[in-house]
Amino acid sequence: MKSTHRTLTVSALLVTMFVAALEITVVSTAMPTVIAELGGIHVYTWVFTAYMLASTVSVPIYGKLADLYGRKPVLLWGIVLFLLGSMASGAAGSMTQLIIARTVQGLGTGSMQPMTMTIAGDLYTPRERARVQGLFGSVWGFAGLVGPLLGGLIVGALSWRWVFYVNVPFGILAILLLSTALHEKVERHSHTLDFVGALLLPAAIVGLLLGQSLPWFVVSLLLLVLFLWNEGQVAEPILPLGLFRTRLMAIASIGGAVLGAVMTAVTTFVPLFVQGVLGGSPTEAGMAIAPVAIGWPVASAVSARLLVRVGYSPLVRIGFFLTSLASSLLAWTASRHPTLTTWYLISFLLGLGLGAANTTLIIAVQGAVGWRQRGVATASTLLFRALGGAIGVGLLGGVLASSLAREANLPADAARKLFGRGPGAGLDQEAAQSLAHALEAGLSTVFWMLAAVALCGFVVSMFFPRMKLEPESP
């Protein structure tokens, strides 16, 4: 059997990570322009929620498949799905078509993010992982930094559709590199896939997001209870509950959900605030969140170096403290019509918090299990991060939609005109101001709710177990 070419494999993983990170900020920057062409501001968040939901529910399935059949085929399948979804998103003729295409794209991302982390965990020892995570964080940061700039340039010079088509060449490159460089030796034996669990989990999450009423919540809760019961009965569960009996996995899962909610909500709602309330351009909207991608790799690299000396818990707590502080400042300044410079600083601070906490949690989880559980353990951590993002944005999007619905006198196409070429074009001054005020009120509430979630994450981080980074074989 051929040996893995580690340099080329890591290059492929970095390209895959780059595409996944680029997608977040590029799409966020373009969405107000998409509304101007396709309409549908009341389902605005579903472009993000559908993507996150599809990614969320598929993560544990991909993680289990990777432990059973190897990482390579699972990752290649995910990249192919992501590219198909990207091309369909670019060709969408309505908001409904875009949401469906983003769902396909999300099904691909559900494989890409956990598999890149899992393969990196396979290739490196725990101490090496600390260093390589800094490299992955830097690529994530670079993609996030160029994303808003690239998104603004593409929207201004070409069309919003090209923010999706730009993924295609990078995805093809990653497929070619992985196909030739990565070679795995997987132990073959009989397996049974937990199909019931694979159906119950997404059903519970979809029910929670689609229904804002008590009956829907009860149904979702019952489905979740059935899922947990099923996972305790089957021989090879999608989500092994035994993993969460340790304090490390429990805290990492809750913390990951908080990080996902904060990260996804900021990239979803801040560009909308900058363009809809502050009257900024698509490029300015993207630049308001770009510093997150600068602070993230800085904190990731520093955390990776400090892990050996101070252990996990101090870095986890510092990361969540900075995340909570930045989220609170974001909420406080939103009602005061901040300058973009102010939001640049807050976004950078947020990036520092997210980078420190996320990097440390991933390394801690991977170091706590062996190869046979590393795929599902990594996927479980990312599952909760994606779950927090999907549910957080879905529920916060409901808050925003309710705020907009109270403005009954607004024209049906007011949002399309507000975000069209030239802010407010085609709207009379009174209607433009009414919509901007409704957006400001709704988004201010969203930001304060997000700050409360981040504060809860900081409280939870105080219970993270004290432990040092120990050397072990990969």
3-state secondary structure 306-333: HHHHHCHHHHHHHHHHHHHHHHHHHHHH
- Answer whether 37's CB lies under 8 Å from 160's CB: yes
- Reply yes or no on whether the pLDDT at 66 is more than 60: yes
- Model pTM above 0.85: no
Residue corresponding to tokens 């600390």: 130
At 225, list the tokens: 């209870």
Write the DSSP assignment of 400-459 as a string of letters: HHHHHHT-TTS-TTHHHHHTSSSTTTTS-HHHHHHHHHHHHHHHHHHHHHHHHHHHHHHH
- DSSP 8-class letter at 45: T
Which among 138, 421, 70, 435 has a CA at the least distance from the CA of 295?
138
- 162, containing H or E segment: helix 162-165
Q: Write down the pLDDT at residue 349.
A: 92
Tally Cβ neighbours within 10 Å of residue 440. Answer: 18
In angstroms, the CA 356 to CA 453 distance is 18
Predicted pLDDT of residue 84: 94
Query: Is 246 strand, coil or helix?
Result: coil
Q: Residue 403 and residue 443: Cα distance in Å, rounded?
A: 9
Say yes or no to pLDDT of 321 above 60.
yes
pLDDT at 451: 92
Alpha carbons 90 and 155: distance in angstroms, whole number? 12
Whether the per-residue pLDDT at 325 is higher than 90: the answer is yes
The residues, any chain, with a CB within 8 Å of residue 408's CB and separated by 6 or more, are none
Which range among 263-272, 322-331, 389-398, 430-439 shows the weakest confidence by mean pLDDT? 430-439
Asked if residue 384 has pLDDT above 60, the reply is yes
CA atoms within 13 Å, Cβ hemisphere of 331: 19
Top-confidence residue, 264 or 138: 264
- What topology is assigned to 6-180+236-461 in CATH? Growth Hormone; Chain: A; (1.20.1250)
- What string of DSSP letters covers 266-302? HHHHHHHHHHHTS---HHHHHHHHTTHHHHHHHHHHH
- With a CB cutoff of 8 Å and minimum separation 6, the contacts of 346 are 326, 329, 330, 333
Which residues are within 8 A (CB) of 450 and not within 5 positions of it... i.e. 6 or more apart? 261, 262, 265, 266, 327, 330, 331, 392, 396
Tally the C-alpha atoms within 13 A of residue 221's C-alpha that lie toward its C-beta: 6
Most confident range (mean pLDDT) of 50-54, 139-143, 429-433 is 50-54
Q: Which two tokens stand for residue 91?
A: 């060709």
Phi–psi pair at 191, nearest 5 degrees: -135, 160
Residue 422's pLDDT is what? 47
Q: What are phi and psi of 386, to 5 degrees?
A: -70, -35
Residue pair 4/182 in contact (Cβ under 8 Å)? The answer is yes
**Neighbour-count burial of 199, counting CB atoms closer than 10 A to its CB (0-12 exposed, 13-18 middle, 19+ buried):** middle
Give the model confidence (pLDDT) of 393-445 as tens digits.
777 777 777 776 666 565 555 555 555 544 444 555 666 666 677 777 788 88
Backbone phi, psi, residue 281, to 5°? -85, 170
Would the pLDDT of 458 be above 50? yes
Count of alpha carbons within 13 Å of 172, Cβ hemisphere only? 5
